[in-house]
């Protein structure tokens, strides 16, 4: 007699649960922010996920309790640059880091949408559209990023040369800045990966003579367009991100290669030798093939600029990245996605084929 109402109650509950938003479904689909976006960075702190991404005009922080749905996330602008400064426009790829008890946002910016005069443009082999892009740092104090008050702290010294997509690399030997760089002030591609040593999160201690280039787009899949004889132009290594295999202690640097406005954008992988020195280019070994790349069978193109985060229960590894469904509309087609990844026997990360799902929710969500 007592069973029937109980059953009905369960059925009713199940229907209500089923009808809820994706935040409590057992699966999710990509993208995870339907309005679009690029260069996502996600960090988990105190039961919240925090996301930043490129908005161009400011640094916006989002927070959500679920990794797989950012449409209903809280959002706030934490920094709008004053006009007419060297960092007033094209704010790109902000990343939020917790270092030495404070919060740091490291981001790319330029003056006047980087429009060099003809006098400057003539120094570059083709032209110089990104010649004034540089790296900057905001600092915030507070018990979490949401309550922290962020203020402009400093430019990160890149010797008055092109610098984008900078990140922090934390190592037993100290803190480093790894960013996308040119060989010289007016080289205008290829874009390489450079490393310098930091005294603290906002001060570079390496003189220019000690700046090291740890990767150049030397392999065919790192160049744009693929297969052209002369193709250093617009060939890039950028979007570097630290990734550690916690089981083996292996130190990786995942980076984006080729060019972000087309289908060939992909992720490459560098590994630091055991006990290697991050400032020694020969201690970095490049994996010869991309580790994450377009999947035409699911219309997932131009996948790159990743960051890495754990599931809510800490048991799973997730990659957050951007990609395009339509490879013909360039940067505006990019949307933010996430998928679970695992690890190979040899300790290398094993990324899935990019796609739209539905995929199983992160464990503990």
Ligand X SMILES: *[C@@H]1O[C@H](CO)[C@@H](O)[C@H](O)[C@H]1NC(C)=O
Q: Which residues are catalytic?
A: 39, 238
28 binds ligand X (CB under 6 A): no
Q: What is the DSSP letter of 209?
A: G
| Total residues at interface with ligand X (CB under 6 A) | 6
- Smallest gap from Cβ 13 to ligand X, in A, equals 7
Quickly list DSSP for 288-354: SS-SB--BGGGTBEEEEEEEEEE-TTS--EEEEEEEES-TTSGGGGEEEEEEEEEE-TTS-EEPPPP
- Smallest gap from Cβ 159 to ligand X, in A, equals 10
CA-based torsion, 347, 250, 178, 337: positive or negative:
positive
> Cβ closer to ligand X: 25 or 99?
25
Map the footprint of ligand X across residues 179-218, applying CB under 6 A: none
- Smallest gap from Cβ 322 to ligand X, in A, equals 25
- Smallest gap from Cβ 185 to ligand X, in A, equals 9
> Cβ closer to ligand X: 160 or 199?
160
> Cβ closer to ligand X: 196 or 335?
196
The phi-psi region of residue 55 (left if phi > 0; otherwise alpha if psi is between -120 and 50; otherwise beta) is: alpha
> Cβ closer to ligand X: 179 or 293?
179
Query: Which of 57, 58, 160, 313 is close enough to bind ligand X by CB under 6 A?
Result: 160
- Smallest gap from Cβ 27 to ligand X, in A, equals 13
> Cβ closer to ligand X: 13 or 289?
13
- Smallest gap from Cβ 103 to ligand X, in A, equals 24
Give SS3 for 185.
Answer: coil
User: How far apart, in Å, do the first and last CA atoms of the chain sit?
Assistant: 36
Query: Which of 10, 12, 21, 24 is close enough to bind ligand X by CB under 6 A?
Result: 24
Q: In this structure, what are the phi and psi dihedrals at residue 248, rounded to the nearest 5 degrees?
A: -100, -15
8 binds ligand X (CB under 6 A): no
Query: Which of 9, 11, 17, 244 is close enough to bind ligand X by CB under 6 A?
Result: 17
> Cβ closer to ligand X: 72 or 248?
72
115 binds ligand X (CB under 6 A): no
CB 40 within 8 A of CB 49: no
Pairing of strands 284-286, 266-272: antiparallel
48 binds ligand X (CB under 6 A): no
User: CB within 8 A of 292, min separation 6: which ones?
Assistant: 266, 267, 303, 304, 306, 319, 321, 351, 354
Residues paired with residue 356 on neighbouring β-strands, in sequence order: none
132 binds ligand X (CB under 6 A): yes
Q: Cα separation of 333 and 300, whole Å?
A: 11
86 binds ligand X (CB under 6 A): yes
Reference 237, options 265, 264, 218, 256; nearest CA is 256
Q: Which residues bind ligand X (CB under 6 A)?
A: 17, 24, 86, 132, 160, 365
């Amino acid at each position: 007699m007592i069973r029937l109402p109980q059953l009905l109650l369960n059925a009713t509950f199940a229907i209500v649960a089923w009808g809820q938003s994706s935040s409590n479904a057992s699966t999710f689909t990509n993208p995870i922010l339907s309005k679009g976006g690029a260069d996502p960075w996600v960090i988990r702190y105190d039961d919240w996920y925090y996301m930043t991404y490129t908005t161009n005009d400011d640094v916006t922080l989002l927070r959500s309790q679920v990794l797989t749905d950012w449409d209903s996330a809280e959002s706030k602008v934490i920094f709008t640059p004053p006009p007419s400064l060297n960092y007033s426009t094209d704010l790109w790829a902000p990343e939020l880091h917790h270092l030495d008890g404070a919060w740091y946002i490291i981001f790319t910016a330029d003056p006047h949408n980087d429009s060099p005069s003809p006098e400057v443009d003539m120094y570059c082999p083709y032209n110089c559209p990104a010649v004034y892009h540089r790296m900057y740092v905001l600092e915030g104090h507070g018990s979490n990023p949401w309550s922290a008050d962020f203020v402009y702290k400093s430019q990160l010294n890149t010797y008055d040369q092109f610098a984008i997509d900078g990140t922090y690399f934390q190592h037993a030997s100290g803190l480093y800045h790894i960013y996308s760089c040119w060989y010289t002030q007016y080289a205008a591609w290829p874009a390489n990966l450079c490393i310098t040593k930091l005294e603290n999160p906002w001060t570079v201690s390496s003189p220019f003579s000690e700046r090291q280039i740890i990767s150049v787009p030397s392999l065919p899949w790192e160049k744009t367009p693929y297969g052209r004889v002369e193709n250093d132009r617009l060939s890039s290594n950028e979007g570097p991100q630290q990734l550690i295999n916690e089981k083996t202690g292996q130190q990786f640097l995942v980076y984006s290669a080729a060019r972000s406005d087309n289908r060939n954008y992909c992720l490459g992988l560098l590994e630091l030798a055991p006990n290697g020195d991050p400032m020694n280019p020969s201690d970095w070994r490049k994996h010869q093939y991309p580790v994450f790349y377009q999947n035409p069978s699911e219309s997932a193109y131009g996948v790159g600029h990743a960051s890495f985060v754990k599931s809510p229960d800490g048991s799973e590894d997730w990659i957050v990245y951007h990609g395009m469904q339509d490879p013909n509309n360039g940067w505006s087609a990019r949307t933010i996605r996430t998928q679970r990844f695992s690890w190979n026997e040899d300790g290398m990360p094993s990324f899935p084929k990019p796609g739209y799902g539905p995929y199983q929710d992160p464990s503990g969500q």
